[in-house]
Amino acid sequence: MSSIDLRRLGLRPGEVRSEHLDVELDPFLLGGQRYEAHPETIPVDVEITQATSTTVFDLRLHAKLAGPCMRCLGYAEVEVDATAREFYDPAAPPADVLRSDYVVDDRFEVGAWARDAIGLALPEQILCRRDCAGLCPVCGKDLNAEPHEHTERNADPRWAPLEELRDRL
């Protein structure tokens, strides 16, 4: 994970510094499936502004993740543009909003922040295409490649007691 040494920056109130880092991302596990960044190392831009007692961090990045489609299990790719802002006041209580969890021992953990920002920017479902038909619930075939319907349906035996009850009423 990439980090910035805040002591090395030595910012005074009102100063702004821009940092460009290459951050290596570990694969994401979503719904038991693995999604990898391509390329593994992504460029991250961080702007650091020193206010009177608080440091403000702004993040911008663009990442591309690839893995299985969540409907048909084919190849899917998603591009993510993420922006985020964090505040850090060393005098703030530990659970305060001005106390960033990404600052540890005067080092700002950009890699962990970038990973979390990507995770929050991901869509609910990663699909091979917006209109992906998915897999057939009966036979498991890919409905994108072979659209079909099953006309005969075998009733699930677990519903038999309810069928009997319906017939009696």
Residues whose CB is less than 8 angstroms from the CB of residue 158 and which lie 6 or more positions away in sequence, other chains included: none
pLDDT score recorded for residue 118: 95
Q: Containing domain of residue 140, as a range?
A: 133-169
Domains in the chain: how many in total? Answer: 2
pLDDT tens figures, 43-85: 999 999 998 888 999 999 999 999 999 999 999 999 999 999 9
Q: Are residues 93 and 106 in the same domain?
A: yes
What is the DSSP code string of 34-50?
EEEESSSEEEEEEEEEE
| Cα 147-122-49 angle, rounded to 5 deg | 160
pLDDT score recorded for residue 149: 87
Q: Are residues 107 and 55 in the same domain?
A: yes
Q: Are residues 78 and 24 in the same domain?
A: yes
Average pLDDT in the chain: 90
Q: Are residues 88 and 139 in the same domain?
A: no
Q: Are residues 125 and 139 in the same domain?
A: no
Is residue 109 predicted with pLDDT exceeding 90?
yes
- The pTM for the full model equals 0.79
- Helix or strand or coil: residue 118? helix
Written as six digits, the tokens of 36 are 């990898």
Q: Are residues 114 and 88 in the same domain?
A: yes
pLDDT score recorded for residue 123: 93
Q: Are residues 81 and 160 in the same domain?
A: no
Q: Are residues 103 and 162 in the same domain?
A: no
Residues whose CB is less than 8 angstroms from the CB of residue 121 and which lie 6 or more positions away in sequence, other chains included: 80, 81, 82
Is residue 167 predicted with pLDDT exceeding 80?
yes
